[in-house]
Amino acid sequence: MNTIRKREELGCNVIRYVVDAPIIAAHRKPGQFVIIRVTDHSERIPLTIADANPDTGTISLIVQSVGKTTREMAMLKPGDAIHDIVGPLGRPTHIQQFGTVLCVGGGIGIAPLYPIAKGMKEAGNHVITILGARTRDLLILEDDMRSVSDEIIVTTDDGSYGTKGLVTDAIRSLVSGGTHIDQAVVIGPPLMMKFTSLLTKELGIPTMASLNPIMIDGTGMCGGCRVTVGGEVKFACVDGPEFDAHQVDWDSMIRRLGTYRTAEQAAAERYDHQCRVGLDAKESR
Protein backbone atom coordinates (compact mmCIF):
# COMPACT_ATOMS: atom_id res chain seq x y z
CA MET A 1 0.00 0.00 0.00
CA ASN A 2 1.30 3.46 -0.93
CA THR A 3 -0.14 6.38 1.02
CA ILE A 4 -1.09 9.60 -0.76
CA ARG A 5 0.54 12.59 0.95
CA LYS A 6 -0.72 15.40 -1.26
CA ARG A 7 -3.37 15.95 -3.94
CA GLU A 8 -3.49 19.02 -6.15
CA GLU A 9 -5.87 19.81 -9.01
CA LEU A 10 -3.76 21.14 -11.90
CA GLY A 11 -6.54 21.79 -14.39
CA CYS A 12 -9.53 20.27 -16.08
CA ASN A 13 -9.60 16.63 -14.81
CA VAL A 14 -5.84 16.59 -14.16
CA ILE A 15 -4.57 15.84 -10.64
CA ARG A 16 -1.05 15.70 -9.20
CA TYR A 17 -0.48 13.19 -6.38
CA VAL A 18 2.55 12.96 -4.11
CA VAL A 19 2.71 9.34 -2.97
CA ASP A 20 4.94 7.34 -0.61
CA ALA A 21 7.20 5.04 -2.65
CA PRO A 22 10.70 5.27 -1.10
CA ILE A 23 12.45 2.57 -3.14
CA ILE A 24 11.10 3.92 -6.44
CA ALA A 25 11.98 7.49 -5.41
CA ALA A 26 15.58 6.44 -4.74
CA HIS A 27 16.09 4.61 -8.03
CA ARG A 28 13.92 6.22 -10.73
CA LYS A 29 15.41 8.15 -13.65
CA PRO A 30 13.72 10.61 -16.06
CA GLY A 31 11.54 8.83 -18.63
CA GLN A 32 10.62 5.88 -16.40
CA PHE A 33 7.12 4.94 -15.31
CA VAL A 34 5.20 2.82 -12.80
CA ILE A 35 2.22 0.49 -13.10
CA ILE A 36 -0.39 0.98 -10.40
CA ARG A 37 -3.55 -0.67 -9.17
CA VAL A 38 -5.86 1.70 -7.32
CA THR A 39 -7.52 -1.20 -5.39
CA ASP A 40 -6.93 -4.96 -5.41
CA HIS A 41 -9.76 -5.24 -7.99
CA SER A 42 -8.55 -2.47 -10.28
CA GLU A 43 -7.04 -2.67 -13.74
CA ARG A 44 -3.29 -2.11 -13.96
CA ILE A 45 -2.45 1.26 -15.56
CA PRO A 46 0.93 2.80 -16.47
CA LEU A 47 1.76 6.32 -15.23
CA THR A 48 4.96 8.29 -15.72
CA ILE A 49 6.97 9.22 -12.65
CA ALA A 50 6.59 12.98 -13.05
CA ASP A 51 9.05 13.75 -10.25
CA ALA A 52 10.62 12.14 -7.19
CA ASN A 53 12.13 13.18 -3.88
CA PRO A 54 14.47 10.54 -2.42
CA ASP A 55 14.71 12.55 0.86
CA THR A 56 10.98 12.32 1.57
CA GLY A 57 10.67 8.93 -0.15
CA THR A 58 7.86 10.22 -2.39
CA ILE A 59 7.08 10.26 -6.10
CA SER A 60 4.72 12.53 -8.05
CA LEU A 61 2.13 11.13 -10.44
CA ILE A 62 0.06 13.40 -12.67
CA VAL A 63 -3.14 11.78 -13.85
CA GLN A 64 -5.76 12.84 -16.35
CA SER A 65 -9.20 11.27 -15.83
CA VAL A 66 -10.10 9.68 -19.14
CA GLY A 67 -11.84 6.41 -18.19
CA LYS A 68 -12.83 4.06 -15.39
CA THR A 69 -9.51 3.56 -13.60
CA THR A 70 -8.29 7.14 -13.81
CA ARG A 71 -11.72 8.29 -12.52
CA GLU A 72 -11.40 5.78 -9.67
CA MET A 73 -8.02 7.32 -8.90
CA ALA A 74 -9.47 10.85 -8.97
CA MET A 75 -11.63 9.91 -5.94
CA LEU A 76 -8.53 9.34 -3.76
CA LYS A 77 -7.63 11.96 -1.13
CA PRO A 78 -4.54 12.54 1.05
CA GLY A 79 -4.34 9.73 3.63
CA ASP A 80 -5.90 7.18 1.21
CA ALA A 81 -3.63 4.57 -0.33
CA ILE A 82 -2.95 3.22 -3.80
CA HIS A 83 -3.08 -0.58 -3.49
CA ASP A 84 0.18 -1.27 -5.32
CA ILE A 85 2.80 0.53 -7.38
CA VAL A 86 5.37 -1.40 -9.44
CA GLY A 87 8.48 0.33 -10.78
CA PRO A 88 10.54 2.05 -11.86
CA LEU A 89 9.83 0.47 -15.27
CA GLY A 90 11.11 1.17 -18.77
CA ARG A 91 14.41 2.50 -20.00
CA PRO A 92 15.46 5.93 -18.75
CA THR A 93 15.68 8.78 -21.26
CA HIS A 94 19.03 9.13 -23.01
CA ILE A 95 20.24 12.40 -21.48
CA GLN A 96 23.50 14.02 -22.53
CA GLN A 97 24.76 17.43 -23.58
CA PHE A 98 23.29 17.70 -27.07
CA GLY A 99 23.46 21.52 -27.33
CA THR A 100 19.99 22.93 -27.98
CA VAL A 101 17.15 20.59 -27.03
CA LEU A 102 13.58 21.24 -28.13
CA CYS A 103 10.98 19.77 -25.74
CA VAL A 104 7.50 19.58 -27.27
CA GLY A 105 4.59 18.62 -25.01
CA GLY A 106 0.89 18.29 -25.71
CA GLY A 107 -1.98 17.74 -23.24
CA ILE A 108 -1.16 15.27 -20.44
CA GLY A 109 2.13 14.53 -22.30
CA ILE A 110 3.51 17.63 -20.56
CA ALA A 111 3.64 15.58 -17.32
CA PRO A 112 6.12 12.98 -18.63
CA LEU A 113 8.01 15.73 -20.48
CA TYR A 114 8.78 17.67 -17.29
CA PRO A 115 11.38 15.26 -15.75
CA ILE A 116 13.05 14.93 -19.17
CA ALA A 117 13.30 18.70 -19.71
CA LYS A 118 14.67 19.00 -16.16
CA GLY A 119 17.27 16.30 -16.86
CA MET A 120 18.25 17.95 -20.18
CA LYS A 121 18.67 21.32 -18.43
CA GLU A 122 20.77 19.77 -15.62
CA ALA A 123 23.00 18.17 -18.29
CA GLY A 124 23.87 21.66 -19.57
CA ASN A 125 21.59 21.90 -22.61
CA HIS A 126 19.85 25.03 -23.83
CA VAL A 127 16.22 23.94 -23.45
CA ILE A 128 13.49 25.40 -25.64
CA THR A 129 10.01 24.22 -24.72
CA ILE A 130 6.84 24.31 -26.78
CA LEU A 131 3.63 23.47 -24.93
CA GLY A 132 0.42 22.85 -26.83
CA ALA A 133 -3.16 22.57 -25.63
CA ARG A 134 -6.56 22.68 -27.28
CA THR A 135 -7.59 25.57 -25.03
CA ARG A 136 -6.18 27.54 -22.06
CA ASP A 137 -8.04 25.45 -19.41
CA LEU A 138 -6.31 22.28 -20.64
CA LEU A 139 -2.77 23.63 -20.31
CA ILE A 140 -0.88 22.13 -17.35
CA LEU A 141 2.50 22.63 -15.63
CA GLU A 142 3.40 25.87 -17.41
CA ASP A 143 5.30 27.22 -14.35
CA ASP A 144 7.13 23.91 -13.75
CA MET A 145 8.18 23.75 -17.41
CA ARG A 146 9.22 27.41 -17.38
CA SER A 147 11.52 26.72 -14.39
CA VAL A 148 13.53 24.14 -16.41
CA SER A 149 13.48 25.91 -19.80
CA ASP A 150 15.58 28.72 -21.29
CA GLU A 151 12.76 29.68 -23.66
CA ILE A 152 9.10 28.69 -23.67
CA ILE A 153 6.38 29.01 -26.29
CA VAL A 154 2.73 28.19 -25.60
CA THR A 155 0.25 27.41 -28.36
CA THR A 156 -3.49 26.84 -28.10
CA ASP A 157 -5.64 25.54 -30.94
CA ASP A 158 -8.32 28.18 -30.27
CA GLY A 159 -5.94 31.08 -29.49
CA SER A 160 -7.33 31.45 -25.91
CA TYR A 161 -3.72 31.66 -24.58
CA GLY A 162 -0.25 32.02 -26.09
CA THR A 163 -0.03 31.81 -29.87
CA LYS A 164 -3.00 30.47 -31.83
CA GLY A 165 -2.04 27.34 -33.73
CA LEU A 166 -0.44 23.95 -33.36
CA VAL A 167 2.95 23.00 -31.93
CA THR A 168 4.09 22.21 -35.47
CA ASP A 169 3.45 25.86 -36.47
CA ALA A 170 5.68 26.98 -33.57
CA ILE A 171 8.47 24.56 -34.61
CA ARG A 172 8.35 25.86 -38.18
CA SER A 173 8.57 29.47 -37.09
CA LEU A 174 11.46 28.74 -34.67
CA VAL A 175 13.46 27.04 -37.40
CA SER A 176 12.62 29.59 -40.09
CA GLY A 177 13.74 32.29 -37.61
CA GLY A 178 17.21 30.72 -37.60
CA THR A 179 17.14 28.61 -34.40
CA HIS A 180 19.33 25.52 -34.70
CA ILE A 181 18.01 22.48 -32.80
CA ASP A 182 20.29 19.52 -32.04
CA GLN A 183 17.71 17.18 -30.52
CA ALA A 184 13.95 17.17 -30.06
CA VAL A 185 11.78 15.26 -27.58
CA VAL A 186 8.04 15.02 -28.18
CA ILE A 187 5.36 13.65 -25.85
CA GLY A 188 1.63 14.05 -26.27
CA PRO A 189 -1.40 12.58 -28.00
CA PRO A 190 -0.35 10.06 -30.67
CA LEU A 191 -1.56 12.19 -33.60
CA MET A 192 0.38 15.20 -32.33
CA MET A 193 3.52 13.03 -31.97
CA LYS A 194 3.02 11.64 -35.47
CA PHE A 195 2.76 15.06 -37.14
CA THR A 196 5.56 16.56 -35.05
CA SER A 197 7.86 13.72 -36.02
CA LEU A 198 6.94 14.02 -39.71
CA LEU A 199 7.92 17.70 -39.51
CA THR A 200 11.18 17.19 -37.59
CA LYS A 201 12.13 14.46 -40.08
CA GLU A 202 11.59 16.94 -42.92
CA LEU A 203 13.68 19.51 -40.99
CA GLY A 204 16.43 16.98 -40.21
CA ILE A 205 16.09 17.23 -36.41
CA PRO A 206 16.76 13.95 -34.50
CA THR A 207 13.66 13.30 -32.40
CA MET A 208 12.71 11.02 -29.52
CA ALA A 209 9.08 10.24 -28.71
CA SER A 210 7.67 8.54 -25.62
CA LEU A 211 5.02 6.04 -26.70
CA ASN A 212 1.82 5.34 -24.80
CA PRO A 213 0.44 2.01 -26.08
CA ILE A 214 -1.78 -0.16 -23.89
CA MET A 215 0.33 -1.83 -21.20
CA ILE A 216 -0.65 -4.61 -18.85
CA ASP A 217 2.27 -6.38 -17.14
CA GLY A 218 5.04 -3.89 -17.96
CA THR A 219 7.64 -6.64 -18.10
CA GLY A 220 7.69 -7.64 -21.78
CA MET A 221 5.56 -10.80 -21.34
CA CYS A 222 1.95 -9.98 -22.34
CA GLY A 223 2.66 -8.37 -25.71
CA GLY A 224 0.03 -5.66 -25.12
CA CYS A 225 2.43 -2.78 -25.75
CA ARG A 226 3.77 -4.13 -29.08
CA VAL A 227 4.85 -1.37 -31.47
CA THR A 228 6.74 -1.37 -34.75
CA VAL A 229 9.89 0.72 -34.88
CA GLY A 230 12.18 0.71 -37.90
CA GLY A 231 10.27 -2.34 -39.23
CA GLU A 232 11.01 -4.36 -36.07
CA VAL A 233 8.62 -5.43 -33.33
CA LYS A 234 9.41 -3.77 -29.99
CA PHE A 235 7.73 -3.84 -26.60
CA ALA A 236 7.39 -0.30 -25.32
CA CYS A 237 7.49 -1.35 -21.64
CA VAL A 238 10.96 -2.89 -21.81
CA ASP A 239 12.50 -1.56 -25.06
CA GLY A 240 11.03 1.95 -24.52
CA PRO A 241 8.88 3.84 -23.81
CA GLU A 242 11.12 6.21 -25.83
CA PHE A 243 12.07 5.51 -29.42
CA ASP A 244 13.43 7.30 -32.45
CA ALA A 245 10.24 9.10 -33.51
CA HIS A 246 11.21 8.97 -37.19
CA GLN A 247 11.21 5.15 -37.11
CA VAL A 248 7.86 4.62 -35.34
CA ASP A 249 4.92 3.16 -37.28
CA TRP A 250 2.44 5.69 -35.89
CA ASP A 251 -0.60 4.46 -37.80
CA SER A 252 -0.32 0.94 -36.42
CA MET A 253 0.14 2.25 -32.85
CA ILE A 254 -2.90 4.52 -33.19
CA ARG A 255 -4.99 1.62 -34.54
CA ARG A 256 -3.98 -0.67 -31.67
CA LEU A 257 -4.84 2.00 -29.07
CA GLY A 258 -8.47 1.87 -30.23
CA THR A 259 -8.80 -1.94 -29.84
CA TYR A 260 -10.81 -1.89 -26.60
CA ARG A 261 -12.65 1.44 -27.06
CA THR A 262 -16.18 -0.05 -26.81
CA ALA A 263 -15.32 -2.01 -23.64
CA GLU A 264 -13.55 1.03 -22.14
CA GLN A 265 -16.57 3.27 -22.75
CA ALA A 266 -18.91 0.66 -21.24
CA ALA A 267 -16.68 0.29 -18.14
CA ALA A 268 -16.58 4.08 -17.64
CA GLU A 269 -20.38 4.34 -17.99
CA ARG A 270 -20.91 1.46 -15.49
CA TYR A 271 -18.50 3.13 -13.05
CA ASP A 272 -20.23 6.53 -13.33
CA HIS A 273 -23.62 4.85 -12.82
CA GLN A 274 -22.37 3.02 -9.67
CA CYS A 275 -20.97 6.31 -8.31
CA ARG A 276 -24.30 8.07 -8.90
CA VAL A 277 -26.26 5.24 -7.21
CA GLY A 278 -23.82 5.41 -4.25
CA LEU A 279 -24.25 9.18 -3.92
CA ASP A 280 -28.07 8.98 -4.17
CA ALA A 281 -28.12 6.28 -1.45
CA LYS A 282 -25.96 8.47 0.85
CA GLU A 283 -28.14 11.55 0.25
CA SER A 284 -31.40 9.69 1.00
CA ARG A 285 -30.07 8.49 4.40
Which residues are near ligand FAD by CB under 6 A? 33, 43, 45-48, 62-64, 66-70, 108, 111-112, 212-216, 241, 257, 261, 264, 268
Instruction: Give residues with Cβ within 8 angstroms of 243, minimum separation 6.
Output: 208, 209, 211, 227, 229, 234, 236
Least distance between ligand FES and beta carbon 86 (Å): 11
By C-beta, is 6 or 164 nearer to ligand FAD?
A: 6
Binding residues for ligand FES restricted to 72-101, rule: CB under 6 A: none
Instruction: Work out what residue 98 binds among ligand FAD, ligand FES, none; the CB cut-off runs from 5 to 8 Å by kind.
Output: none
Kindly state whether residue 257 participates in binding ligand FES, applying the rule CB under 6 A: no
DSSP string, the chain: -EEEEEEEEEETTEEEEEEE-HHHHHH--TT-EEEEESSTTSPPEEEE--EEETTTTEEEEEEE--SHHHHHHHT--TT-EESEEEEEESPPP-----SEEEEEEEGGGHHHHHHHHHHHHHTT-EEEEEEEESSGGG---HHHHHHT-SEEEEEETTSSSSEES-HHHHHHHHHHTT---SEEEEESSHHHHHHHHHHHHHHT--EEEE-----SSSSSSS-TTEEEETTEEEEHHHH-SEEEGGGB-HHHHHHHHTTTHHHHHHHHHHHHHHHHHHHHHHHT-
Q: Least CB distance from residue 93 to ligand FAD, whole Å?
A: 12
> Of 184 and 237, which has the nearer Cβ to ligand FES?
237
Of these partners, ligand FES, ligand FAD, none, which one is at the site of residue 22 (CB under 5 to 8 Å by kind)?
none
The site string for ligand FES over 196-225 (x = CB under 6 A, - otherwise) reads -------------------xxxx-xxxxxx
- The site partner of 45 among ligand FES, ligand FAD, none (C-beta below 5 to 8 Å per kind) is ligand FAD
Least gap, CB of 174 to ligand FAD (angstroms) = 26
With CB under 5 to 8 Å by kind, the binding choice for 67 among ligand FAD, ligand FES, none is: ligand FAD
257: partner contacted, choices ligand FAD, ligand FES, none (Cβ within 5-8 A by kind): ligand FAD
Positions in the binding site for ligand FES (CB under 6 A): 215-218, 220-225, 235, 237
